[in-house]
Amino acid sequence: MTTIRTTCTTCGEVELMPGELSLELTALSGTGAYLFACPTCGDSQRRPANHRVVSILLATGVSYQVVDDPDRITESEIARFSASLDSGNWIDQLLG
Ligand SMILES: [Zn+2]
């Protein structure tokens, strides 16, 4: 069984099961933060997750949700934009 080793700010090193963590993914960057309750002191912890941490957590089956930064453009806007690029007449759309 996979365990994930991380640290609690109070207790130091702790081991968690994948089901005890949750991951917040930022759609565009592929990074985010992971959250867990320390099994020793019960404290809620929130840690930044870089690309490597994100891929490790996803590989171990940690549940995740995608969070959008409201100041950023959304995935659907990007999809629409790249679709209009693919269509080859984007310059017409810009001018039109
Ligand atoms: Zn703790």
Q: Calculate how far, in angstroms, residue 35's C-alpha sits from the geometric centre of ligand 1.
A: 13
> How far away, in angstroms, is 96 Cα from ligand 1 center?
59
CA of 71 to the centre of ligand 1 (A): 34
Instruction: Assess contact for 37 and 20: CB atoms under 8 A.
Output: yes
pLDDT at 47: 93
Name the pTM for this structure.
Answer: 0.67
Ligand 1 center to residue 10 CA distance, Å? 5
Cα 19 from chain centre: 16
The three-class DSSP label of residue 42 is coil
So what's the pLDDT on residue 96?
47
- For residue 44, the one-letter residue type is S
Q: Which element (helix H / strand E) includes 91?
A: helix 90-95
Residue with tokens 């996803």: 58
Q: What is the pLDDT of residue 27?
A: 78
Calpha distance 19→9 (Å, rounded): 20
Kindly list the averaged pLDDT for each block of 10 residues, start to end, along the chain of length 96.
90 95 88 95 94 92 83 69 64 52
